[in-house]
Amino acid sequence: MKKIVFLLFFLLILTGCNRQGYQVKRFFMSPISNSENNYMISIQSLKGTIEREINVIDTDELFIKASIESGTAKLILYDREKNEIFVYDIKAEEELKEHLNYIFEEGEYTFKIATSHAKNINIELYFENDGNGDSD
């Protein structure tokens, strides 16, 4: 009986250590300005890595605005084949504004936000054509 209890205890510890989870409080993701190509992501608190998919219709530019109240976070975007398109560091009290020229074909793209602990993360993604995005 002791061996079974020890084995179960060991397995629980092992699975707990290998858990690839995250802690998130108040995660919202919604379209901006009724557009299918523009997204606002808002997270009150995050520990770990969160991964989500977004649907993009053919575009050739991406405007990114991001801010974070405390901590640091990495924003990573992957293409449809899970190849990394970009990685940006978001730092506390520094607003990130980036412009990326890239051909985004229609489909689902994956983004990750990774942090050891960050509060009040706000990210806006504007997928646009021909520089007509309103990123300000």
Whether pLDDT at 11 is above 80: no
Q: Where are the alpha helices (DSSP H) in 1-136?
A: 2-17
Whether pLDDT at 8 is above 50: yes
pLDDT digits (tens, 9 = 90+) for 31-48: 887 777 889 999 999 999
Q: In terms of residue numbers, what domain contains 102?
A: 22-128
Q: Taking the CB of residue 43, how many other CB atoms lie within 10 A of it?
A: 22
- Is residue 15 in a domain? no
Q: Which of 29, 65, 63, 64 is nearest to 46 (CA)?
A: 29
Domain count, the chain: 1
Q: What type of residue sits at position 57? A: I
SS3 assignment, position 117: strand
- Is residue 39 in a domain? yes
- Is residue 101 in a domain? yes
SS3 assignment, position 133: coil
Query: Is the CB of residue 62 less than 8 Å from the CB of residue 131?
Result: no
